Amino acid sequence: MSVMTAPLKLEDLEDRSFDPFMVEKLSHGSTADPYPTIHAAMAKGPVHKGAYRDLFDAVPDVQMAGLNHYVVLGYDLIQQVLLDPQTFTNREAFEHNLGRSFGHTVTVMDGEEHARFRRIFQRAFLPQVVAKWGETVVDPVVDRLMGAFIQRGEADLVADFTHHYPFQVIYRQLELEPEQAPIFHKLAIAQLLSSIGAPQGQEASRKLGDFFAGLLTLRRAQPGSDLVSHLATVEVDGERLPDDVLIAFLRQLMNAGGDTTYRGTSVLLTGLLTHPDQLAAVAADRSLIPQAIDEALRWEGPVASTWRHAARDVTLAGVDIPQGAIVNVVLASANRDPAKFPDPDRFDIFRDRSVRPLPFATGPHVCIGQHLAKVEMTRALNAVLDRLPNLRLDPDKPAPDIVGHILRVPEHIHVRFDPA
């Protein structure tokens, strides 16, 4: 029996007509601009009883319903919560939602266990490692996508570009067969439905898990230089990563790494295109790209909020929070805290940078993929600036509008440029 040549099976959902993308849209929140609400709540104080979603028109989150929720707003208090992992833990906050979708991933771990596995994964995503992927993995994807529209002189940079490239980067890292990509993407979104109780969620998680188990067997039999081979064979203190932890991480990638980067890049392009002077400055001086990315993710961080569990009774800003409560940390409020970022709603790549924005959170669970995300966004922006001369918003189409209060994104970025 040849393990190497066995085709990897990726099974579609039983119900072929089920559209997870539609359901996904609903769960991202409908409030167009959450910032006036966030500012108003912040002005009343940094801690409120209730969930972040309750500030808007709540979408039912059946696994979370009935839990004791508190919202934490503002930079200082959010930093305090996220840097105190003994008091504010992850497992209880995530095991019933994200943990059901992905399994035993780093997000649902705490303490020593988290630190041990986290270091192994982070090592595969350190800046000096991901820098190499810019050329080998990201550029080919970006070039192919842009090649399809540079002759047109007009494009929707979301539909034609940002909505695809971070996912295709992941497909390349997994060395996924191109014809499997649509089912893979569908399952990756469908698995999230576990958190709203849809049965297709568990079905998708199982099917992705079977697929990844097969992939691990394949890569262990014949390791290459790819990411999965590395993770499947890496040893720390003489031990390999357990399959359940590794498979859960791979399940999480599309969501944690694909969806976020698609949104982040869309926001970056929106910020620059709606501020043509800043776009021109970056086009002329590419050393401004890192600060443009930082500002875009501060201004419209794709992950507006996250959660922790109070492991003990604790008082925050004078509000007593009982043990067992869920603490909803609104990263979007830290990044628009007027005490840290003057005129916080303004997009300004030249603003003072002495306070670090928190779009990737902070503390032990800070984003593992932040260095990769920056490499991807840098490559994407450079390609846009190099290959779409005289780039500007299309005056005949609606301007990009960033919407949603959970994961924010513009639905379209209609542009014109000089065709190649």
Partner 1 sequence: MKQWMCLNCGWAYDEAVGDPSAGIAPGTRWEDIPDTWRCPDCGAAKSEFDMVEV
Told to check if 403 binds partner 1 by CB under 8 A, we report no
Shortest Cβ 361–ligand HEM spacing (Å): 4
Collapse the DSSP code of 411 into the 3-class scheme (helix H, G, I; strand E, B; otherwise coil) and give the result. coil
Told to check if 29 binds ligand HEM by CB under 6 A, we report no
Told to check if 354 binds partner 1 by CB under 8 A, we report yes
The end-to-end CA distance of the chain, in Å, is 51
Cβ distance to ligand HEM smaller for residue 149 or 208: 208
Told to check if 125 binds partner 1 by CB under 8 A, we report yes
Told to check if 222 binds partner 1 by CB under 8 A, we report no
How big is the chain by its Cα radius of gyration, in Å? 21
Contacts (Cβ under 8 Å, ≥6 apart) of 206? none
Closest CA to 296 of 385, 153, 409, 200: 409
Shortest Cβ 149–ligand HEM spacing (Å): 23
Told to check if 353 binds partner 1 by CB under 8 A, we report no
Among 132, 206, 356, 392, binds partner 1 (CB under 8 A): 356
Sign of the CA dihedral running 173, 176, 177, 178: negative
Q: Among the candidate windows 13-21, 37-45, 197-205, 355-363, which touches ligand HEM by CB under 6 A? A: 355-363
Rounded (5°) CA angle 351-272-346: 40
Look up residue 99 and give its amino acid.
G
Shortest Cβ 374–partner 1 spacing (Å): 11
3-36 burial: b if 16+ Cβ within 10 Å, else e: eeeeebebeebeeeebebeebbeeebbebeebbe
Q: In the window 84-113, what residues touch partner 1 (CB under 8 A)? A: 85
| Burial degree of 346 (CB within 10 A; 0-12, 13-18, 19+) | exposed
**Count of positions (residues) in the chain:** 420
Told to check if 63 binds partner 1 by CB under 8 A, we report no
CA distance 210 to 228: 15
Q: In the window 237-256, what residues touch ligand HEM (CB under 6 A)? A: 252-253, 256
Told to check if 116 binds partner 1 by CB under 8 A, we report no
Comparing every residue's Cβ against ligand HEM, the nearest one is 369
Shortest Cβ 86–ligand HEM spacing (Å): 15
**Could you say which of partner 1, ligand HEM, none residue 225 binds, taking C-beta under 5 to 8 angstroms by partner kind?**
none
Instruction: With beta carbons less than 8 A apart as the criterion, state whether 279 and 347 touch.
Output: no
Told to check if 360 binds ligand HEM by CB under 6 A, we report yes
CA distance 115 to 111: 6
Shortest Cβ 321–partner 1 spacing (Å): 20
Shortest Cβ 147–partner 1 spacing (Å): 32
Distances (CA, A) of 147 to 86, 101, 133: 50, 36, 20
Told to check if 128 binds partner 1 by CB under 8 A, we report yes
- Residues of this chain that interact with partner 1 (CB under 8 A) are 83, 85, 115, 118-119, 122-123, 125-128, 354-356, 362-364, 366, 368, 370-371
- Residues of this chain that interact with ligand HEM (CB under 6 A) are 106-107, 118, 125, 252-253, 256-257, 260-261, 264, 301-303, 306, 359-361, 365, 367-369, 372-373
